[in-house]
Amino acid sequence: MISPLYINKQQWDEMLEHVKSYVPLEACGLLAGKNNRLEKVILVRNQAQSPVRFVMDPYEQLQAFEWIESQGLDLIGIFHSHPAGPEIASVTDIAEAAYQVVSVIWSRKNDEWKARGFWIEDGEVMDVPLLFNEG
Ligand SMILES: [Zn+2]
């Protein structure tokens, strides 16, 4: 059973600003929280510096993991962008999904950004609703 991911407006905007600032390259980051509630957006440098793929800077990723643990939070999601689409997970995203967490993908079409959530497991992709909370 897929649970929605709860995000607040500030967190949404943080991700959006980050992905916009990376155009035309893909941007990425980590989502820390508890259960299905996002508590902290962590921006991570895309080491690949590519418009079609992302590789998290390993040092920043390690630092983020340590911070998440020190806060008693869990890694609940990973976000990245598709500045030139598509809005769904790519073949690479499916092949490289390494963590059992929600994938949030930001895509751009006609300068309009949207975000969708996915659960990728064993080559299968399921939609995860992204819902706003008031926090
Ligand atoms: Zn992707």
> For 1-50, how does the pLDDT look when each residue is reduced to its tens digit (9 = 90+)?
689 999 999 999 999 999 999 999 999 999 999 999 999 999 999 999 99
Mean pLDDT of 83-107: 94
Ligand 1 centre and the CA of 93: distance in Å?
5
Ligand 1 centre and the CA of 49: distance in Å?
13
pLDDT digits (tens, 9 = 90+) for 43-78: 999 999 999 999 999 999 999 999 999 999 999 999
Ligand 1 centre and the CA of 16: distance in Å?
15
Residue 111 pLDDT:
87
How far apart CA 81 and CA 20 sit, in angstroms, is: 9
* Amino acid present at 131: L
Active-site residue list = 26
Residue 5 pLDDT:
97
Ligand 1 centre and the CA of 55: distance in Å?
10
pLDDT at 135 over 70: no
| Strand spans (E) along 1-135 | 5-7, 28-34, 37-44, 74-82, 102-109, 112-121, 124-128, 130-132
